[in-house]
């Protein structure tokens, strides 16, 4: 049957939003994969499905373009929040995801801030395959790991130009140390409030940006003592701001834009 959708992006990190409130959730892994195909479908990095919820404006579930499920997506969460704010003519909404209840607010510039929940730092929470200190993993380059509901592995490097993001990232993603696979970050620290980030995304390849990866990279830099608690993260497609005081929730702020709406022949 025809399936209505909205195509949006956050600094080029593109996603699709399906509103399944007041209806049965139509999305399966196979359908998400069909929609995510950039040649035969709509194409996206992530798919966000809005569902009915008793204690929030909507419950949101996420899919990667390869048909795998994930618990969080900072860019698509901002997109869903923006759509609901327009619908209700408000500047704040609460969403429920597998990360819990997330408060979202619109700034005076029109950007969306999401309280992304507390980062998970323990080896079993990330998860890692064995009990290790997640601050420095026993891999070449001693990366740092955390989870924002999806696993993140961050390398701090001097020169991003010399790294084959796809080749190195895909190898680390499937390293046995990460039983659920992992997102992989390559970070150059510009100064204590500014980093340049390139990403290999679990189940998605090399995106122009990623909200949850921006959070993970900033968190890991703060934990390593390299960054202050408010960081501008510049990805290939643009910048977001991540705030984390070392405890409590992570705040992610950045723009989102509607591209087009359409109907997919599901």
> Which two three-digit tokens encode residue 39?
């040649």
What architecture is the 2-115+257-265 domain classified under in CATH?
Roll (3.10)
pLDDT (tens digit, 9 = 90+) per residue, 86-140? 999 999 999 999 999 999 999 999 999 999 999 999 999 999 999 999 999 999 9
> Can you give the pTM of this predicted structure?
0.94
> Which two three-digit tokens encode residue 218?
């900033």
% of residues, the chain, pLDDT over 90: 97
The whole-number pLDDT of residue 266 equals 79
pLDDT (tens digit, 9 = 90+) per residue, 28-61? 999 999 999 999 999 999 999 999 999 999 999 9
The boundaries of every CATH 3.10.310.10 domain in the chain are 2-115+257-265, 144-248
The domain covering 144-248 belongs, at the CATH homologous superfamily level, to Diaminopimelate Epimerase; Chain A, domain 1 (3.10.310.10)
The arithmetic mean of pLDDT across residues 51-72, rounded, is 95
The whole-number pLDDT of residue 94 equals 98
Residue 231 has pLDDT above 90, yes or no: yes
d(CA 238, CA 63): 23
Contact status, residue 206 vs residue 235, Cβ threshold 8 Å: no
């Amino acid at each position: 049957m025809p399936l209505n959708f909205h195509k949006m992006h956050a600094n080029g990190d593109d996603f699709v939003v399906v509103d399944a409130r007041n209806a049965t959730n139509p999305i399966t892994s196979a359908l998400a994969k069909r929609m995510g195909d950039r040649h035969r479908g709509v194409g996206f990095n992530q798919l966000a499905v809005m569902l009915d919820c008793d204690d929030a404006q909507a419950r949101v579930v996420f899919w990667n373009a390869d048909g795998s499920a994930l618990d969080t997506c900072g860019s698509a969460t901002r997109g869903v929040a923006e759509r609901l704010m327009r619908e209700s003519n408000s500047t704040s909404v609460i969403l429920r995801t597998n990360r819990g209840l997330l408060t979202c607010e619109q700034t005076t510039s029109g950007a969306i801030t999401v309280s992304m929940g507390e980062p998970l730092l323990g080896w079993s929470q990330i998860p890692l395959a064995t009990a290790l200190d997640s601050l420095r993993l026993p891999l070449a380059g001693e990366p740092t790991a955390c989870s924002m509901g999806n696993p993140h592995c961050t390398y701090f490097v001097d020169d991003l130009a010399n790294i084959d993001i796809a080749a190195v990232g895909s190898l680390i993603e499937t390293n046995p140390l990460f039983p659920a696979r992992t997102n992989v970050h390559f970070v150059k620290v510009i100064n204590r409030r500014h980093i340049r980030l390139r990403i290999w995304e679990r189940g998605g390849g090399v995106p122009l940006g990623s909200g949850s990866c921006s959070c993970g990279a900033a968190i890991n830099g703060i934990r390593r003592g390299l960054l202050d608690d408010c960081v501008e993260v510049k990805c290939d497609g643009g910048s977001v701001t991540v705030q984390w005081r070392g405890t409590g929730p992570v705040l992610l702020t950045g723009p989102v834009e509607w591209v087009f709406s359409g109907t997919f022949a599901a």
